[in-house]
Structure 1
């Protein structure tokens, strides 16, 4: 039994937790405390040395508890469990997905640097790259999934920015179009832009696939970010983010998190641990439902086009990327309704079961209008070039009975 390899979904129930340290409680309690008592002054000194990055943790050294801004049992156990899915060295949990994303960007970018990013990205990420970072002298250069390695590098060289790139940031599948980016190409670009005095880091937003269906660290990424609000949390009752990856980079992320103070609290950590126990069951059901919904939409006379990874044409670059990087088509889809904003709004306003709300990955199905909601701040030029039009509707499919979801879509389309 001791030699048995347990799958992540099995280890989500117990990994990293010792009941004997918590009065035998089968579930980890909520450690609702701000600070922790040291056994000695020497112990306190040793803990702080590691926490502040003054030295590396020694082999077999137990990292002690100091203060809940630095560490807390609920967060530590949660972070250990999240590492299992992506086979990451370390994980850091944040108060939101945007705090995870912004912390990574602030750690690896300095005034004068350039961030190379995929387009489209989530609207909040787009705003941070194009509206916030320039205020600190950091510029963004976007690329699409139709560009080759040579075209991406060439575009940077035309601006004289190839020596300035410090971070390659990729969101794949992209929100809201499901555009796929080949992570092998992204890694090659980063390697070409790196040299002995500059290492270009690759960070991937894997929120659309959750920890289950894509593992970017196996395809050249150094870091992975999640809005843990989505599939990891999965119940629309918390806000959180996570960064996972290789130890040297994670040490830097953790250190900045310590001083920005944007880690999640113990209550959020406890809720996320609860959610991880059903992650695979929930996501599997959502994916099964999405196949039926996508097939229905593809045949509907009032639907112009469906953006769903399960409908990719074979013998295309997108299909080859899908087969290489993903194990499932996921539970997110978008579609172009025939018409424009008026028809899209009529559809959204007549939904009865599906909720009109932003976010995704939760147990309930959600619908929204990216052009005027989640991606409203994206530039008009970018919206037009990457297909975020007035006729685009985004759906996050939940765990309801698929026939009920389809009935709701059908009756709402009748009003368009």
Structure 2
């Protein structure tokens, strides 16, 4: 048994803070990029190992029978506050707890949970908060699997949904929320901003204002949950604008190397507690190895996202005026004075590195372009070190009905591109030669 495990199981050392973390020096608050190097971990509790070991174990030894009972009281919810120590890897583990500790740092969240995938995070959250007969309100479009989960899977249990466009006005948002309230219980308001794959922004502040005006400000109001995968946590921090929970596919920027699958939720502890209980029941926690790899990746998150964002600005500047390009759905090109530009100014600190490229033509031209790429890889996903390109209408959103795809602007001439950390001029050369094949 390692010293880390002994300390955690003793019940005398807080399980999530094995030592007082240094969060400021000389009155200066340390930044997340600094805290990622050691926050939540004491090398002296693990034989002096600079980096946390990978704890590949299914279960943990209790110090005593009384300690085991105390830990299970927390895990099962019989006693508030969660487990005081390590119990079983379906519930918690050292790598997962250090990861969750650091995830919360980026947005100054009260608490955080990690999951085996982004969809596992979404599904666990919905199972914890939604009851049969509820009406979910969400922005549109959503990631196709999320739409399927809400519309088809939960629909089997009498769950209804109402949506509004990502760029909806305050009046449009209020109208939909009002209809939802009239229909019955609203368990949550689910947002995705920027939307996948159109890059349209949701006005989080307008949703908060409409929610509070219609449902009040009491504890029973529906929480606002937002998928912040495209911009967070560097370029958008929804908790600051009134959201209760922020959801991530950690596979993307947080993992950032296209070598793992994971998800995370950060935010208000009161909303996360039932989700933690559901995760304990169905076992959707991150595995130790993936958690350890995420700890590695978080150390360079700011560097990678900054470089990718700079590259995207250069690539989009080239694509914008190309004769074979209809338009570029890039947040750095929003029309001054437009509603989208106003949302961007209030909510975002960067334009991101994932954008929508609309070619002149349709599926034939899109496929020709994709097949001609040499540096950029033809693959789904985003936020990795490499540049990726895909065709949403024929790939990630293939299961979405054609009429809904048309209504949401997911057209055959749309190519989604995620820019990586390669040399920007090399990427421009690659896109230039690929467009010549169209």
Could you tell me the TM-score, scaled by structure 1's length?
0.96
Residue 11 of structure 1 pairs with residue 32 of structure 2? no
Q: Choose the corresponding residue for 1:35, options 38, 42, 59.
A: 59
Residue 306 of structure 1 pairs with residue 328 of structure 2? yes
- The aligned residue for residue 149 of structure 2 is 128
- The aligned residue for residue 287 of structure 1 is 309
- The aligned residue for residue 181 of structure 1 is 202
Aligned-pair distance for 1:398? 0.2
- The aligned residue for residue 371 of structure 1 is 393
Larger deviation, residues 5-14 vs 40-49: 40-49
CA distance in 1, matches of 2:133, 2:107: 33
- The aligned residue for residue 20 of structure 2 is none
Report 1:200-349 matches (<5 A): 200-349=222-371
- The aligned residue for residue 415 of structure 1 is 437
1:210–1:151 CA distance, 2 compared to 1 (3 A)? closer
- The aligned residue for residue 170 of structure 1 is 191
Residue 118 of structure 1 pairs with residue 139 of structure 2? yes
CA distance in 2, matches of 1:188, 1:156: 11
> What is the SS of the residue equivalent to 1:210?
coil
Cα displacement string for residues 343-387 of structure 1 (whole angstroms, at most 9, x for unaligned residues): 000000111110000000000000000101111112222211221
Aligned-pair distance for 1:162? 4.7
Contact between 2:166 and 2:193, CA under 8 Å: does it hold in 1?
no
Aligned-pair distance for 1:57? 3.3
Aligned-pair distance for 1:23? 0.3
> What is the SS of the residue equivalent to 1:224?
strand
> What is the SS of the residue equivalent to 2:166?
coil
> What is the SS of the residue equivalent to 2:201?
coil
Aligned-pair distance for 1:211? 1.3
> What is the SS of the residue equivalent to 1:208?
coil
Give the unaligned 5+ runs of structure 1: none
> What is the SS of the residue equivalent to 1:121?
coil
Q: How many residues align?
A: 413
Contact between 1:153 and 1:162, CA under 8 Å: does it hold in 2?
no
> What is the SS of the residue equivalent to 2:226?
strand
Contact between 1:205 and 1:225, CA under 8 Å: does it hold in 2?
yes
> What is the SS of the residue equivalent to 1:36?
coil
1:411–1:132 CA distance, 2 compared to 1 (3 A)? same
Aligned-pair distance for 1:291? 0.2
Contact between 1:193 and 1:200, CA under 8 Å: does it hold in 2?
no
CA distance in 2, matches of 1:158, 1:6: 45
Larger deviation, residues 283-292 vs 197-206: 197-206
1:197–1:285 CA distance, 2 compared to 1 (3 A)? closer
1:162–1:194 CA distance, 2 compared to 1 (3 A)? farther
- The aligned residue for residue 145 of structure 1 is 166
Contact between 1:360 and 1:396, CA under 8 Å: does it hold in 2?
yes
Aligned-pair distance for 1:150? 3.0
- The aligned residue for residue 17 of structure 2 is none
> What is the SS of the residue equivalent to 1:213?
coil
CA distance in 2, matches of 1:274, 1:160: 44
Could you tell me the TM-score, scaled by structure 2's length?
0.91
CA distance in 1, matches of 2:430, 2:169: 41
Aligned-pair distance for 1:108? 1.2
Contact between 1:145 and 1:181, CA under 8 Å: does it hold in 2?
yes
1:146–1:331 CA distance, 2 compared to 1 (3 A)? closer
CA distance in 1, matches of 2:395, 2:349: 30
Cα displacement string for residues 219-257 of structure 1 (whole angstroms, at most 9, x for unaligned residues): 111111100000000001000000111010111111100
> What is the SS of the residue equivalent to 1:333?
strand
Larger deviation, residues 127-136 vs 16-25: 127-136
1:260–1:2 CA distance, 2 compared to 1 (3 A)? farther
- The aligned residue for residue 372 of structure 2 is 350
Contact between 1:163 and 1:193, CA under 8 Å: does it hold in 2?
no
CA distance in 2, matches of 1:286, 1:273: 20
Aligned-pair distance for 1:145? 3.2
Aligned-pair distance for 1:190? 2.3
CA distance in 1, matches of 2:229, 2:238: 11
> What is the SS of the residue equivalent to 2:188?
strand
* Alignment RMSD (CA, Å): 1.6
Q: Choose the corresponding residue for 2:73, options 26, 46, 49.
A: 49
Aligned-pair distance for 1:289? 0.0
